[in-house]
Structure 1
Amino acid sequence: MVDDPSRTGAVRDGPTGPPSFEAKITDIARIGIVGLFAYWSLTLIAPFAIILIWAAILAVALYPAYARLGRLLGSRRLASFLITLTCLAVIVAPLTAIAVSFAEGLQALLAKLADGSLRVPVPPEYVREWPIVGERLHAAWSMASDNFEALLSKLEPSLVQAGSKALGKIASIGAEVLSFVVSVLVAGFLFGSGERLAEMAQRFSGRIGGDRGIGFLRLAAATIRNVARGVIGVALLQAFLCALVLGLFHVPAPGAIAFVVLVLCIIQIGPALVLLPVIIWAWVTMDFGPALLMTILLVPLFVIDNVMKPILVARGLSTPTLVILLGVLGGTLSYGLIGLFLGPIVLSVVHDLLMVWMQGGTVREKPQSDASQSPRPV
């Protein structure tokens, strides 16, 4: 005969009763072990975090082009190889042109210093009238025109210090460029498993936030592609047109100037910082007709991004254009080039969260029967 717990007064743990002390200790131990492994995992991948983030951004931004090219060629591996090769060419070719131009200029300068043929013109007298720095600049310029070697020996400590800082900065830029090249290679390998990775990302987002989480994931993917088209795409167009115009008028180092224009346009400064001195140089050294024609061709490059960027960045998004542009500017100023993508993604998600909260709407999660269906690619 089985005793009735209600008669004997025995207490039995059930699902509705309070958890026992041992169960609490077990839960704490589980959380601690999971947190420890999560910390170790983050520590292991931290040195490669920037590379992985860039690879993911590139894979998401270029996946539509990869899919179309794969269907056109009938081979996804060949499409991945061609897109990776094109990205590497876009990065390596301008840097090679800059390095070659810099090496040739430095070699010519050192040759003139060695044979004593380097001559500095005499400074004009109106330089003395410049405020604050006029007298000192005129004196240093006069010394350089009289005895350039003496000026170099006088400025040797400052030049050595400035040179060491410049070499450190160049090394830092070189490391960043190398990490970006590695990101491009990693992105090339991600294309082949893009659908599987998109499915995993959607399942993870669904577990975290249901339908709303999947919506945020798709919003992030759309934002990345729009920023790639509206910011980087327009910057590439400006740099290409700049190189074309400067090459037509035989301006020195058109590749290096176009690369600087590309960087300035990507970080949202604009091409005016480089093209205005080029236009002034053209009016000083060229005849009236060529200088006017080159100015007419270069001036549209100043405003092309103001017209095309808002259209391409906000295309197909419910997020206002101002929020996207603020994210682009704020992200670039706060986190550098990678903030160009992270900024608008974060502000877009926050904007949608605020809209949902202000409207007081709730989102139903998908039923469990839909979990077996293959999700739509991000």
Structure 2
Amino acid sequence: MRAPLIEKAKFEAGATDFVVRLAFLGLFAWWSLELVRPFVPIVIWAILLAVALYPAHAWLARLLGGRRSLAATVITLIALATVLGPVSILAASLAESIQWLASGLGSGALKLPPPPAAIEDLPILGEQIDEAWTLAAGNLEDAVLRYGPAVLPTGGAVLGKVAAIGADVLKFVVSVIIAGFLFVPGPRLATGIRAFASRLIAPRGAHFVDLAGATIRNVSRGVIGVALLQALLAGAILYLAGIPGSGLVAFAVLLLCIVQIGAAPVLLPLIVWIWMSHPTTFSLVLTLLLVPVGLIDNVLKPILMARGLTTPMLVILTGVIGGTLTHGLVGLFLGPVVLSVFYELVVAWTRLGQGPTETPIDGAPPPAAPGAP
């Protein structure tokens, strides 16, 4: 009788000891996460930058005779020059544009032209858009009072994040510097991550890691990179031409290009306004400069993206809005990339066992089975 009681007491003591240890471990894990939480978006964005730019680093290292540290330094300096130069100017212009828009709305000096007659004939939302535009052209204050309650909750949150642009640019700088330190140990880190993923999700863990890397490169270069290039070019052209609200226009171009709508909904009305309010020669020059900016993605995306983007627009749009509301300007780029990677991994995981082939990575055919020709 005593033996079972002794065994029961030992089991209870062991279980209690395990629970206490687990509680302390969970406490320290939670505490550690709380300490590093402010830096998580910066570190994640640095990792995404390193993965996206690593092919360029490898190419430059071969060009420099295998000097990988020098190649990492050059790419880091170029990325820092981009952030501290055009991106900072665009961010400052965006802040000025928001201030100009707010002052114009407050003073009543901001006026909108009447809507074109073709707007009303548009399917589905034509009449509603024409009604709202006509009201705003006649009395902007009434339009704000009527449509403001539906727009201001989200708009206020977005504007609050935009107001912290200076801190977001600093986060970009820190992320670029961290990414620069990840280039040299990149192959060793990738090997370790593949090994860990293989143990965690055997036997296709390494395949999932490769798929995540391919998705990061596709979205960051073919979507984020091209959208940022279009926004920077549009903002620079409008800023140098003295067009008011150039930063706001560039930000709208960036958003629309990231969600795969394109720059046309912003640039075409702007070009029409320029022709209506500026001299012919000035308008012609700006048109010849802005039209290629709106079409450049049709040329660059097939070059930069190794395979077609399969992520739905809704996933990218959710990443843009959620990332911006959660992490500000950094989240604008971070959100769609992270959600796209998660979506691709979930899709690949759900397709396991449906066929012998795996999802191709970077456009490469599935690996042949052992012994296959």
TM range (shorter): 0.5 to 0.7
In the alignment, what sits opposite 1:330?
318
Does the residue aligned with 2:262 lie in a helix, a strand or coil? coil
Q: Is the 8 A contact 1:310 1:321 kept in 2?
A: no
Which residues in structure 2 correspond to 1:45-124 (within 5 Å)? 45-74=36-65, 75-98=67-90
In the alignment, what sits opposite 2:201?
209
Return the TM-score normalized by structure 2: 0.64
Letter in 2 for 1:331: G
Which residues in structure 2 correspond to 1:236-247 (within 5 Å)? 236-239=228-231, 242=234
User: Deviation at 1:192?
Assistant: 2.4
Which residues in structure 2 correspond to 1:1-378 (within 5 Å)? 20-74=11-65, 75-98=67-90, 132=135, 171-239=163-231, 242=234, 250=241, 252=243, 256=247, 259-260=250-251, 261-262=253-254, 264-266=256-258, 268=260, 270-288=262-280, 291-292=283-284, 294-295=286-287, 298-305=290-297, 309=301, 312-313=304-305, 315-316=306-307, 321-323=309-311, 325-336=313-324, 337=332, 338-359=334-355
Structure 1: unaligned runs, 5 residues or longer: 1-9, 14-18, 106-119, 125-129, 139-163, 363-378
CA distance in structure 2 between the aligned counterparts of 1:330 and 1:181, rounded to whole angstroms: 25
In the alignment, what sits opposite 1:152?
none
Deviations 1:308-340 (Å, cap 9, x if unpaired)?
Answer: 547754x34xxx744354432332233332111
Structure 1's 221 and 38: CA in aligned 2 closer, same or farther, altered over 3 A?
Answer: same
Structure 2: unaligned runs, 5 residues or longer: 98-108, 114-132, 142-155, 325-331, 359-373
CA distance in structure 1 between the aligned counterparts of 2:111 and 2:322, rounded to whole angstroms: 45
Structure 1's 221 and 190: CA in aligned 2 closer, same or farther, altered over 3 A?
Answer: same
Deviations 1:324-370 (Å, cap 9, x if unpaired)?
Answer: 544323322333321110111011011011111545999xxxxxxxx
Structure 1's 290 and 46: CA in aligned 2 closer, same or farther, altered over 3 A?
Answer: closer
Q: Is the 8 A contact 1:325 1:344 kept in 2?
A: no
Give the count of matched residue pairs.
Answer: 304
Structure 1's 45 and 280: CA in aligned 2 closer, same or farther, altered over 3 A?
Answer: same
Deviations 1:219-273 (Å, cap 9, x if unpaired)?
Answer: 111110111221123224434654686699x454898578534455345563235
Structure 1's 210 and 347: CA in aligned 2 closer, same or farther, altered over 3 A?
Answer: same
CA distance in structure 2 between the aligned counterparts of 1:134 and 1:252, rounded to whole angstroms: 20
Structure 1's 32 and 166: CA in aligned 2 closer, same or farther, altered over 3 A?
Answer: closer
Letter in 2 for 1:32: A
Deviations 1:130-180 (Å, cap 9, x if unpaired)?
Answer: 965677669xxxxxxxxxxxxxxxxxxxxxxxxx99996554222222212
CA distance in structure 2 between the aligned counterparts of 1:194 and 1:309, rounded to whole angstroms: 26
Structure 1's 182 and 247: CA in aligned 2 closer, same or farther, altered over 3 A?
Answer: closer
CA distance in structure 2 between the aligned counterparts of 1:38 and 1:358, rounded to whole angstroms: 38
Between stretches 236-245 and 38-47, larger displacement belongs to 236-245
Higher relative CO (Cα under 8 Å, sequence separation at least 6) belongs to: 2
Structure 1's 93 and 274: CA in aligned 2 closer, same or farther, altered over 3 A?
Answer: farther
CA distance in structure 2 between the aligned counterparts of 1:212 and 1:227, rounded to whole angstroms: 22
RMSD: 4.6
Return the TM-score normalized by structure 1: 0.63
Structure 1's 21 and 168: CA in aligned 2 closer, same or farther, altered over 3 A?
Answer: closer
In the alignment, what sits opposite 1:369?
none
Q: In percent, how many aligned pairs have the same letter? A: 44
Q: Is the 8 A contact 2:88 2:169 kept in 1?
A: no
CA distance in structure 1 between the aligned counterparts of 2:236 and 2:167, rounded to whole angstroms: 30
CA distance in structure 1 between the aligned counterparts of 2:140 and 2:258, rounded to whole angstroms: 35
CA distance in structure 2 between the aligned counterparts of 1:198 and 1:357, rounded to whole angstroms: 26
CA distance in structure 2 between the aligned counterparts of 1:189 and 1:263, rounded to whole angstroms: 30
CA distance in structure 1 between the aligned counterparts of 2:96 and 2:17, rounded to whole angstroms: 69
CA distance in structure 2 between the aligned counterparts of 1:81 and 1:195, rounded to whole angstroms: 17
Between stretches 255-264 and 339-348, larger displacement belongs to 255-264
